[in-house]
């Protein structure tokens, strides 16, 4: 399954501002998900399972935790002699105070030397902040079969949501005829997943030209792909069928966790044929007290439940005291709900304590409440 000719680069520099306090000190791809995972585990595990040996992780904001986490390549089996995960922070200072990439294409341009070291035939570019399982090797086969210059993974989204995405308009063969960035009146519902395969020699030339262009945003969606289409290059859409979630907001992160409660959830984190690898947290088994009530819940190791948990996801080390109720909520690692407290339709951040008899969230609220500061209760 090994192929030396495709190298992967994960764009993991997203600031994730719409996740508010969750990303104040942690880069978005390092945010916790699904009880014991981090978002970055998904693209890294997909690379390992697809037989890709060399992965560059491009980081920028609040990246200390992410850097050390991703550098431990053995977690994903990417630590053999000829494989590895390489953390690549920005090299150039865009301005005096900020060490950042100017755009998604600039992130790749600044690392041309790194990519050239391995002289790949193909470059796979991935977003570091989506939750999905995908075999990139199959996408590469599709790319080769079509003799494409670039292949873009797409997923069908509801037509009413299409204007939130980059939309690919294709002919019946899958050949991309037009690309529209967040169109007001979309012509199709094929949304770009931010997963690209390029022929490296060609992309390298385009990136070098783009670096010199003062009017460019140095972005794949805004500049590189439109340039390739204008130049008559051959671009194909690779249709992905399966679970895919962009977890850019509190509501979507909550939804992605809630999806795990569905027995027919396509993500299936227990699939032995496509493992999602993560940090092995040392924690005791979960403990459910004799008087606890648990209905439809996803409870990870290290949790202690003495109260009521309904339709909720509890991450490693979360605690629900006697008489407390957690309903339609997500408790992130180490979150604690004291006696008599009630938590409804909320996402409680790592290590946050909710005091005795406190009430958080509301069953009737349209949006999920993010609890990122301690909630005082009865003293």
Going from N- to C-terminal start, the domains of the chain cover 6-260, 287-371
Whether the pLDDT of residue 96 is over 50: the answer is no
Per cent of the chain over pLDDT 90 is 60
Which helix (DSSP H) or strand (DSSP E) does residue 198 occupy?
strand 190-199
Residue list for the binding site: 101, 166, 181-182, 192
**Cα separation, 8 vs 40, whole angstroms:** 13
Average pLDDT over residues 330-341: 96
355 and 371 Cβ atoms separated by less than 8 Å: no
Q: Which residue has the higher pLDDT, 167 or 79?
A: 167
pLDDT classification of 359: cutoffs 50, 70, 90: very high
Beta bridge pairs of residue 151: 197, 236
Residue 174: what pLDDT?
94
Kindly report the CATH class assigned to 287-371: mainly beta
Architecture, CATH, for domain 6-260: Alpha-Beta Complex (3.90)
Whether the pLDDT of residue 355 is over 80: the answer is yes
Residue list for the binding site for alpha-D-glucose 1-phosphate: 101, 166, 181-182, 192
Residue 2: what pLDDT?
44
Whether the pLDDT of residue 129 is over 90: the answer is no
**Cα separation, 153 vs 125, whole angstroms:** 11
> In 100-157, which residue ranges form alpha helices assigned H by DSSP?
104-109, 112-117, 136-145
């Amino acid at each position: 399954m090994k192929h030396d000719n495709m190298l992967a680069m994960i764009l993991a520099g997203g600031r994730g501002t719409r996740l508010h306090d969750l990303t104040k000190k942690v880069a978005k791809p390092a945010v916790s998900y699904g009880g014991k995972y981090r978002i970055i585990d998904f693209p890294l595990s997909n690379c390992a399972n697809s037989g890709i040996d060399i992965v560059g992780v491009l980081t920028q904001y609040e990246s200390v935790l992410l850097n050390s986490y991703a550098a431990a390549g053995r977690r994903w089996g990417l630590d053999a002699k000829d494989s590895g995960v390489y953390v690549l922070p920005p090299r150039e200072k865009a301005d005096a105070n900020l060490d950042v990439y100017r755009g998604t294409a600039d992130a790749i341009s600044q690392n041309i030397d790194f990519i050239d070291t391995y002289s790949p035939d193909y470059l796979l570019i991935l977003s570091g902040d989506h939750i999905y399982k995908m075999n990139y090797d199959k996408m590469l086969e599709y790319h080769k079969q079509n003799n494409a210059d670039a292949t873009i993974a797409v997923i069908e989204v509801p037509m009413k949501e299409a204007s939130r995405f980059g939309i690919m308009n294709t002919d019946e063969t899958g050949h991309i005829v037009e690309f529209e960035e967040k169109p007001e009146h979309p012509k199709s519902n094929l949304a770009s997943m931010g997963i690209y395969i390029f022929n490296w020699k060609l992309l390298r030339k385009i990136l070098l030209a783009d670096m010199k262009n003062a009017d460019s945003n140095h972005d794949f969606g805004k500049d590189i792909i439109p340039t390739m289409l204008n130049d008559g290059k051959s671009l194909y859409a690779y249709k992905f069928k399966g679970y895919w979630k962009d977890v850019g907001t509190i509501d979507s992160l909550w939804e992605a966790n809630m999806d795990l409660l569905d027995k027919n959830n396509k993500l299936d984190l227990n699939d032995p044929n496509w493992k999602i690898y993560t940090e092995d947290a040392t924690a005791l088994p979960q403990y459910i007290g004799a008087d606890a009530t648990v209905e439809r819940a996803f409870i990870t190791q290290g949790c202690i439940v003495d109260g009521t948990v309904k339709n909720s996801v509890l991450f490693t080390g979360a605690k629900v005291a006697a008489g407390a109720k957690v309903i339609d909520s997500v408790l992130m690692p180490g979150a604690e709900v004291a006696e008599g407290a009630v938590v409804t339709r909320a996402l409680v951040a790592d290590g946050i304590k909710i005091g005795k008899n406190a009430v958080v969230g509301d069953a009737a609220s349209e949006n999920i409440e993010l609890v990122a500061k301690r909630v005082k209760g009865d003293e």
